[in-house]
Amino acid sequence: MILTITANPSVDISYKLDGFVIDDVNRTAKVEKDAGGKGIHVSYVLKELGEDVTNSGFIGGKLGEFIEKRLDERKISHDFIKLDDETRNCIAILHDGKQTEILEKGPEVSKEKEDEFLAHLKEIANNLDIISISGSLPKGLDSNFYKKIIEFAKNENIFVALDTSGSTLKDLVNADFKPDLIKPNEKEIIDIIGKKFPEEDEKIKEIFSNSVLSEIKYIIVSQGASGAVVKINDKIYKTAVPKVEALNPVGSGDSSLAGAISAIFNKESGEDFIRKSMNCGLLNVLNEEIAHVNMNDFDKYYEKISIKEI
């Protein structure tokens, strides 16, 4: 089984407006609400890929109940730790070809609730093949929470994928127990290496071989519409995806991660791992719905993804 962890999930609300006027009333009939958070998005695509996936993290109040209801509707299992405080809303206002976001901080997680989560993780570990950790940390938790999960997983021989950013990402890749897979974008890789990610092949190889990145088996450096640079053990690849008309790029990183995790779960080869990951990210942009891949189009683009070892 695959476990996706979203420590700070949300109810995602999208308002679509023809125009947005500051300091005035803005009305819309186009409202969408769904369970959100990067780990939950990963689970959506894993489910579409046919994988056995469950969600965990921390939820609270009526908004937490809404998240569980939405997962139930998709027939995706879940086992969250319950908080007294309300889960957060994350609001996206789509207007004039732009997206303005308002993100609530969310509830605080106490030491007791953190311990409850870690104890429960030990209870379900026998059924886990992969743990995927995604997103930011709520108030009350720091990177040590993720460190404890990674250390536990490594001791139990459970594969760990990590998708976070900033100081948390930097702290975790420098920790004694490292994740098996990370998926930084070009901005996030700067947080790790302290400089711009190079374009030249030899410099890319040097970055991966002479830094903490050398100790991480799978690394996908997302470069948006251009594709990605992928490290698998000591091999480095440049990948490119076919050009398409993007309807909604939001959730493509989570979709790409889901494809990578699915490939790992099914023990797929290096190039198949890359194609599946890139293909899922590409398919996501073809839909207005976040973290959704149309499986009818899966084979259409799969072989069009170019891969070159450097």
Q: Kindly report, residue by residue over 113-143, the tens digit of the pLDDT.
A: 999 999 999 999 999 999 999 999 999 999 9
The tokens for 8 are 């700070």
Range(s) of the domain holding residue 139: 2-22+30-309
Identify residue 143 by its one-letter amino acid code.
S
- pTM comes to 0.94
Annotated catalytic, 254?
A: yes
What is the domain-level CATH number for residue 135? 3.40.1190.20
Looking at residue 97, the DSSP 8-state letter turns out to be T
Q: Which of 265, 242, 263, 258 minimizes the C-alpha distance to 293? A: 258
- Domains contained in the chain, number: 1
In the set 72, 176, 254, 297, the catalytic residue is 254
Looking at residue 218, the DSSP 8-state letter turns out to be E
> Could you count the other beta carbons within 10 Å of the beta carbon of residue 225?
14
Show the low-confidence residues of the chain (pLDDT under 70): none
Residues 151/143, Cβ–Cβ less than 8 Å: no
The tokens for 185 are 């974008």
Specify which residues 219 forms β-bridges with.
182, 231
What is the structure's pLDDT at 211?
82
What is the structure's pLDDT at 72?
98
What is the structure's pLDDT at 147?
98
